[in-house]
Amino acid sequence: MLSFTYMKTAKMMTYMVVFEPAEEGGYVASVPSLPGCVSEGETFEQVKQNIHEAIEGYLEVLAAHGDDIPQESPERIISSITTLIPVTL
């Protein structure tokens, strides 16, 4: 759990998380606004808990070093693209 002992204030932040099935089973979660913040879990509930803890740890390290806390971009657009792929004959 995030410790606020060295922080004067705290506020709630919301980050977009991308959940994907892992090749070996389970799930992988990543946070595009927090580069390198990635976690795994065998179930969806487990990966959600793991990425929540990873986000807290990531932000705690940034705060401890006096670094800026990244904000989620309000301009982020999530969409799907359908395209043709080459097929060999």
Query: Is 54 part of a structural domain of the chain?
Result: yes
CB neighbourhood size of 45 (10 A): 10
Residue 32 counted as domain residue: yes
87 located within any domain: no
The answer to whether residue 5 is domain-embedded is no
Distance of CA 8 to the CA centre of its chain: 25
Confidence of residue 66 (pLDDT cuts 50, 70, 90): very high
Mean pLDDT for the chain?
Answer: 88
- Provide the whole-model pTM: 0.77
Find residue 40's DSSP bridge partners. 28
Domain assignment present for residue 76? The answer is no
Q: Per the domain annotation, does 28 fall within a domain?
A: yes
Model confidence at 2: pLDDT above 90: no
What lies within 8 Å, CB to CB, of 1 at 6+ separation is 56
Indicate whether 12 belongs to any domain: no
How many domains does one find in the chain? Answer: 1
Q: Which domain holds residue 58?
A: 18-64
